[in-house]
Amino acid sequence: MHWLVDGMNVIGTRPDAWWRDRHGAMVRLVDLLERWSVESGEDVTVVFEKPPSPPIRSTVVDVAHAPRAKADAADDEIVRRLKAMAPGARAATWVATSDRWLADQAHALGCAVESSAAFRRRIEGGW
């Protein structure tokens, strides 16, 4: 199973003052995704609106970003990635987001969708 994660959507599910340190929140999410990916065997790509600065590197999780920072840039990048996949690969892909437009696009392309809050519970061990 492959997961495409709308990074800031998942971060935003916890009102833990992440907005005071966006980069720190991104690092914490990637760390959480790494641990979950290793434990579950799931393949994970997390997509952010813009490149993390400094860069966030992982040998377990694909840390990606939209080519140009703008509103909903991560959503557009996730849809671009989905469209580039073969239909069979899309059928084995889940998208974690709370954005209705992105969820609709993912469903139309044959992917499953899980809300950001449900996905956050999943990666924190509530699955």
Here the CATH number for the domain that contains residue 80 is 3.40.50
In three-state secondary structure terms, 63 is strand
At 51-75, the pLDDT tens digits run 999 999 999 999 999 998 888 899 9
Flag whether pLDDT at 127 surpasses 60.
no
Q: How far, in Å, are 29, 50, 64, 94, 102 from residue 45 at the CA level?
A: 12, 14, 7, 10, 16
| 116 three-class SS | helix
Q: Tens digit of pLDDT for each residue in 9-41? A: 999 999 899 999 999 999 999 999 999 999 999
Q: Is 2 helix (H, G, I), strand (E, B) or coil?
A: strand
Range(s) of the domain holding residue 67? 2-126
Residue 72 CA to residue 77 CA, distance in Å, equals: 9
Residue 8 corresponds to which tokens in the numbers above?
A: 């800031």
- Amino acid in the structure at residue 126: G
**Domain count of the fold of the chain:** 1
